[in-house]
Amino acid sequence: MFGAGLGLWSALLAGGAETPAQPPAPTVVSGTEDPGQLAGALLSRLLPTTLLLVGEQHDAPEHQALQRELVQQLAERRQLGALVLEMSEAGAHTSDLPSQASETQVREALRWSDGQGGWPWPTYGPVVMAAVRAGVPVHGGNLPRADMRAAMGTETLDGLLPAEALERQRAAIREGHCDLLPAPQIAPMTRIQIARDQAMARTAAAAVRPGQTVLLVAGNGHVQRDLGVPLHLPPDLAHRVVVALARPEADVQEAAGQTLPTADVVWRSPPRAPRDYCSEMKRSLGR
């Protein structure tokens, strides 16, 4: 940590608030912090901006707590134009619901399902409902499942990323599937990832309101400037990026000289306990 709250504020407040043409190295903050204080420091550092992309590690509750605080503080300032989520499909939204809509009505509007690999409502419901209660529309941003097969065969998606970024995306797909995915499926699965980023970028750009900020919440890989959603935004759309890390190996990777994610701020929250997802996947496949 940067010396309790004072260090956090001094780290985050350094520098201007405009989106730079050539982003500098990210500001790195680490340790346990009150989510309200962290959210306030981030907004003081990063506003004004048309779009604020906030990444997360999906199993880190501290990250969702920060997101809720960002929603509430932006709404209190009347600066929150919309909330866009990876966790709901593009085309789903709460724009037609009143601020006192029930959670059941909100889930129906967002076509939210916990089952069959869906996102857990208890994890993200507080973030969503904070926006709804503030009268702010919530938009699903992710590629609809029905469009995934078409994306897999759309080779033009490969050309939307620089060659180096495309290879990184393919490596991430390979590693994310624990090297169990057959080689011919790597490129098609990568196209789904690119199409997801493209869908979220379109949704966020369409939700822009003059003088306000759209908040986009997604996994860290989706928000990185040189890899995800920012590559598909209109070139004149000002945006800032926060990446949140909770992985146990963060210290080791940085010590080894590996590059930090491309972002304005990287928050290293308390690490989560290691979990062997690959062993779990192999067991589920009978390997």
Q: Residue 202 is part of which domain span?
A: 4-16+25-284
Which band of pLDDT confidence, cut at 50, 70 and 90, is reported for residue 3?
very low
Q: How confident is the model at residue 24 (pLDDT cuts 50, 70, 90)?
A: confident
Cα separation of 212 and 269, whole Å? Answer: 28
End-to-end CA distance of the chain, in Å?
42
Taking the CB of residue 168, how many other CB atoms lie within 10 A of it? 17
Poorest-confidence range of 28-32, 73-77, 143-147, 180-184?
A: 28-32
What is residue 180's predicted lDDT score, i.e. its pLDDT? 86
Q: Is the pLDDT of residue 252 over 90?
A: no
Calculate what percentage of the chain has a pLDDT beyond 70: 82
Which among 61, 17, 23 has a CA at the least distance from the CA of 42? 17
Residue 76 has pLDDT above 90, yes or no: yes
Confidence of residue 32 (pLDDT cuts 50, 70, 90): low
Averaged pLDDT, 57-71 = 96
Half-sphere exposure of 19 (CA within 13 A, CB side): 17
List the Cα angle 72/109/114 in 5-degree steps. Answer: 85
Number of domains the chain contains: 1
- CATH classification of the domain holding 203: 3.40.50.11550
- Please state the rounded mean pLDDT for residues 182-195: 97
Banded model confidence at residue 17, pLDDT cuts 50, 70, 90: very low
Does the pLDDT at position 120 exceed 60?
yes
Q: What is the DSSP annotation of 52-110?
A: EEEEE-TT-HHHHHHHHHHHHHHHHTT-EEEEEEEEEETT-B-TTS-TT--HHHHHHHT
Both structure tokens of 214: 């759209």
Q: What is the spatial distance between Cα 170 and Cα 190, in angstroms, rounded to a whole number?
A: 6
Pure H helices in 134-275: 148-152, 163-176, 186-206, 220-223, 250-255
Collect all residues with Cβ–Cβ distance below 8 Å to 204 and sequence separation of at least 6.
51, 53, 82, 84, 141, 214, 216, 229, 233
Q: What is the per-residue pLDDT for 256?
A: 47
By C-alpha distance, which of 62, 53, 61 is closest to 35? 62
Contacts (Cβ under 8 Å, ≥6 apart) of 46: 17, 52, 240, 242, 264, 265
pLDDT in tens, 91-116: 999 999 999 999 999 999 999 987 65
User: Once rounded to an integer, what is the mean pLDDT over residues 165-190?
Assistant: 93
Interval 152-172: pLDDT, tens:
999 999 999 999 999 999 999
What pLDDT shows up at residue 4?
39
Flag whether pLDDT at 257 surpasses 70.
no
Length of the chain measured in residues: 287
Spatial distance between the Cα atoms of 59 and 86, rounded to a whole number of angstroms: 15
Who has greater pLDDT, 261 or 167? 167
Per-residue pLDDT band for 19 (boundaries 50, 70, 90) equals very low
